[in-house]
Structures are given as structure tokens and as C-alpha cells.
């Protein structure tokens, strides 16, 4: 056991009659100046990842095809479909106005054909 204490340097303190090593030498860490924090504005993330116009047009086509295929022939159903997809539609309107305009034209066509079928 004595060899073990000596190996880790504990034997000297016990031999000298000390319980705990004294802190004669106090080492101060150099004080670093804090740099000002840069405020980063959050990126608008509405949950849609539409990288380019081609993808936006495909998305708009999918929405209009879905509205055309699953519409029960009622204007209220068409308005409900528009409302349920409003977040995506607003994203297209803000980011890809050309795709949005094509989608609005298709919805107008669907709306005009509702009473004719």
C-alpha cells in the first residue's frame, strides 16, 4: 500500500503530517475579453422545400389535378380544398409567382366547370 501511495504522490503529504496539499501557488487563468455576440436573423422556414421553378410548377400541377380529381362538384368543396392547402399556396405565391398564376388559372377553370357537369 505504501508503494501505491508513493506512486501517486500521496505518501509525501501523509509523511509531512498534512491532510490536504496546501495551495501556496495560485495560478490565475488569463482573462479573455468576450467578443460581442452577433445577432443572426432567423431564416423563414414555413416547412416547404421547393428548390426551383420546375418543382414549383410540378407542385402546382399536383394540387390542381388533385382538386380536379377529388372535387365532388361543389364550390364549397373547392374552397375547402384551397383553404386546406393555403400554406403551400401562399408559399408558391411568395416564392414562385409564375407557378402560382398557372395554378390560379387552373382553379378558375375548375370553378367555371363546376355547374356544367
> Residue 5 pLDDT > 60, yes or no?
no
Per-residue pLDDT at 97: 94
Provide CB contacts within 8 A for 114, sequence distance 6+. 71, 73, 74, 75, 78
Per-residue pLDDT at 70: 82
8 falls within a domain? no
Per-residue pLDDT at 19: 59
100 falls within a domain? yes
Q: Which three cell numbers stand for residue 43?
A: 431564416
Per-residue pLDDT at 9: 62
Answer whether 103's CB lies under 8 Å from 89's CB.
yes
63 falls within a domain? yes
70 falls within a domain? yes
Per-residue pLDDT at 90: 92
95 falls within a domain? yes
Q: Cα angle at 114 between 112 and 117, to 5 degrees?
A: 115
108 falls within a domain? yes
Per-residue pLDDT at 75: 87
Q: What is the mean pLDDT of residues 105-117?
A: 84
pTM: 0.57
Total number of domains in the chain: 1
98 falls within a domain? yes
Range of 68's domain? 53-113
66 falls within a domain? yes
pLDDT digits (tens, 9 = 90+) for 46-97: 677 888 899 999 999 999 999 888 877 788 888 999 999 999 999 999 999 9
Amino acid at each position: 500500500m505504501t508503494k501505491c501511495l508513493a506512486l501517486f504522490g500521496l505518501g509525501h503529504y501523509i509523511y509531512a503530517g498534512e491532510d490536504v496539499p496546501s495551495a501556496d501557488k495560485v495560478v490565475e487563468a488569463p482573462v479573455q475579453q468576450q467578443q460581442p455576440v452577433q445577432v443572426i436573423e432567423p431564416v423563414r422556414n414555413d416547412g416547404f422545400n421547393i428548390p426551383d421553378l420546375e418543382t414549383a410548377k410540378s407542385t402546382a400541377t399536383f394540387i390542381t389535378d388533385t382538386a380536379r380529381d377529388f372535387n365532388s362538384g361543389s364550390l364549397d368543396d373547392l374552397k375547402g380544398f384551397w383553404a386546406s392547402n393555403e400554406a403551400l399556396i401562399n408559399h408558391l405565391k411568395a416564392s414562385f409567382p409564375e407557378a402560382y398564376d398557372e395554378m390560379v388559372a387552373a382553379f378558375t377553370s375548375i370553378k367555371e366547370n363546376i355547374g356544367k357537369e
